[in-house]
Amino acid sequence: MPTFFIKTYGCQMNERDSEQVARDLLTRGYTPVAHEKDADIILLNTCSVREMAENKAIGKMGFLRKLRRDKPQLILGYLGCMAQRLGETLLEKSPHVDLIVGTQKFHRVADYIDAIIKKRREEEDEFNELTQAFRAPIVDVEAELDSQNSIRDHLFFEKETSSMSGVSSQYGKQEKDVQATSASTAVMSAPLHEVKERIPATAFISIMQGCNMHCTFCIVPTTRGPERGRPIADIVDEARELVALGVKEVTLLGQIVNLYGRHEMPKVHEKSPFVQLLEALHRIEGLERIRFTSPHPMGFRQDLVTCIGEHPKIMEHLHLPLQSGSDRILKAMHRPYTASTYRKLVAQLRNARPGIAITTDIIVGFPGETEEDYLQTRRLAEELEFDNAFVFRYSPRGDTPAATMEGQLSEEVKEFRNKDLLEVINASAFQKLESSVGTLQEILCEGPSRYDPSRLTGRTRTNKIVVFEGNKRFEREIFELRITRRHSFTLYGDPAIQE
């Protein structure tokens, strides 16, 4: 059977979508490979949040075309957000691709690849780079009802362990190649204890698709469509299946995850659908940790704050996008809160869950941002002492209102503010890490360290990376380590505590 390779650009939602595509292909007999040069099918799952991410994918596809010199029947395809945004116009830049599939059609990818291969075999033609130009590509970016329910099967990747760094010029640092272990296929062909050795400690669960917020800088409502959530029972069943395989921690994914279900489900006892979901997951025996990303400040009502405070399986870490500390800029961004309400929310969360880590997203250089607007953001970041942050220089995106706003700032101004704010963020991040030295921290061991496979790595409840010495028996286990030192954004633990 043909082999496949998927390269993923962008966020955790994209990673999860790639898992689904890979699982569908493997179920049909296709074989995943670790290197693109060994693949018969290469798919790029793309991101549109920033122009740089789109340019990287288009450049990569241009390079992949060269592989057809030795493999003329190579299938090349774009998936995801850029495919959704640009659709058939992508053929102007990449006329050699065979497949362009949008964000609501990931579950159709395997069908389309089957169809391409079948058509080529039926034609019994001698394909080469010249005849490739005349192949009719498949383009599908149409909306599909209930597409949110199609992302529920898992094919686990060998994940890279990466720290959230203050330096973040794109939603990138997340650019991953598929090297996969199939839970479902392995179960059919190996004893359960062998399967569990290949299952990671953590897994993503996609609980919704789309976004209705329409922030003026954001392309996501265009690429992902309107909000739509999966049934609570389906999500709970998926989590139970993961736990049965050995997963200890799940991360719930959604464009605005804490607004989950608000259009499909009623409140129950004054609890939002998202709180109902968290409580249902909390009752699953064997599920030890629950995380979610990314929420919106306006989605935090008292029921959610109380839930976070009362349920210990919900980890003490929240990624809570601020975007700006200036009320004027927040209004221009169409962010329906103020710096004051954000400040109060952080205080509520820290009061409900002492020691909770708060990380954030901040955009500098938004159109019309004055020096005073920026300083308000800087002062708020100093005051709130975030555990870390992604700091972005504003990047105009086509089809968004902010792209045509007056007052576009120069790259020099954006670069200065970016570097200046990173100094503030890093100061508080390093202080939080230093304060951990000498303490006992509970970690979930995720396996070998990315940079030193002879060591193990895990994450604290506050989502800090810890590297330590140990053997394989610690993998996927939860235990305490004493933190001995910090280097950059990584903590190191004392192996003596394990003996």
pLDDT-above-70 percentage for the chain: 86
Burial 208-237 (b: 16+ CB within 10 A, else e): bbbbebebbbbbbbbbbbebbbbbbeebbe
Average pLDDT over residues 394-414: 94
**Per-residue pLDDT at 133:** 44
Number of other residues whose CB lies within 10 A of the CB of residue 372: 9
* Identity of the amino acid at 294: S
**Per-residue pLDDT at 267:** 95
Q: Which one has a higher pLDDT value, 119 or 343?
A: 343
Average pLDDT over residues 393-398: 90
The first and second tokens of residue 79, run together, are: 């998936």
Beta bridge partners of 292: 252
| Structure confidence at residue 495 as a pLDDT band (50, 70, 90) | low
- Burial class of residue 444, CB neighbours in 10 A (0-12, 13-18, 19+): buried
**Model confidence, pTM:** 0.84
**Per-residue pLDDT at 158:** 47
323-434 is classed CATH 1.10.357.10: no
Average pLDDT over residues 328-355: 98
- What are the residue ranges of CATH 2.40.50 in the chain? 440-498
Beta bridge partners of 252: 205, 292
Average pLDDT over residues 160-173: 34
Highest mean pLDDT among 427-436, 450-459, 473-482: 427-436
- What are the residue ranges of CATH 3.30.750.200 in the chain? 323-434
d(CA 42, CA 56): 15
Highest mean pLDDT among 5-14, 167-176, 429-438, 448-457: 429-438
Average pLDDT over residues 78-94: 93
Please report, for the chain, how many H helices and E strands are present, in that order: 16, 22
Instruction: Give Cα 325 to chain centroid, integer Å.
Output: 25
Considering only the top CATH level, what class is 3-147? alpha beta
Highest mean pLDDT among 38-52, 345-359, 389-403: 345-359
Residue 270 has pLDDT above 90, yes or no: yes
Q: What are the pLDDT digits (tens) for 146-159?
A: 767 666 666 654 44
Residue 296 has pLDDT above 80, yes or no: yes
Instruction: Give Cα 189 to chain centroid, integer Å.
Output: 30
Q: Which ranges of 269-338 would DSSP assign to H, the alpha helix?
A: 273-282, 302-310, 327-333
Average pLDDT over residues 360-377: 98
Concatenating the DSSP letter of every residue in 423-481 gives HHHHHHHHHHHHTTTTSEEEEEEEEE-SS-TTSEEEEETT--EEEE---GGGTT-EEEE
Residue 254 has pLDDT above 70, yes or no: yes
**Per-residue pLDDT at 389:** 97
Concatenating the DSSP letter of every residue in 39-104 gives -SEEEEEE--SSHHHHHHHHHHHHHHGGGGGT-TT-EEEEEEHHHHHHGGGHHHH-TT-SEEE-TT
| Structure confidence at residue 188 as a pLDDT band (50, 70, 90) | very low
**Per-residue pLDDT at 52:** 87
Highest mean pLDDT among 221-235, 307-321, 386-400, 437-451: 307-321
**Per-residue pLDDT at 496:** 56
Element (H, E) at 380: helix 371-384
**Per-residue pLDDT at 187:** 31
Least-confidence region, from 28-32, 159-163, 443-447, 473-477: 159-163
The first and second tokens of residue 394, run together, are: 């504003």
Q: Mean pLDDT over all residues of the chain? A: 87
**Per-residue pLDDT at 277:** 98
* Identity of the amino acid at 367: P
**Per-residue pLDDT at 421:** 98
* Identity of the amino acid at 400: T
* Identity of the amino acid at 432: K
Say if residue 163 is preceded by a cis peptide, omega within 30 of 0: no
440-498 is classed CATH 2.40.50: yes
Straight-line distance from the first to the last Cα atom of the chain, in angstroms, rounded to the nearest whole number: 48
Concatenating the DSSP letter of every residue in 243-287 gives HHHT--EEEEE-TTGGGTTTTTS--BTTB-HHHHHHHHHHTSTT-
> In the 8-state DSSP scheme, what is residue 303?
H
- Packing angle, helices 232-245 and 273-282, rounded to 10: 30
Q: Which one has a higher pLDDT value, 230 or 497?
A: 230
Instruction: Give Cα 8 to chain centroid, integer Å.
Output: 10
Residue 183 has pLDDT above 70, yes or no: no
| Structure confidence at residue 135 as a pLDDT band (50, 70, 90) | low
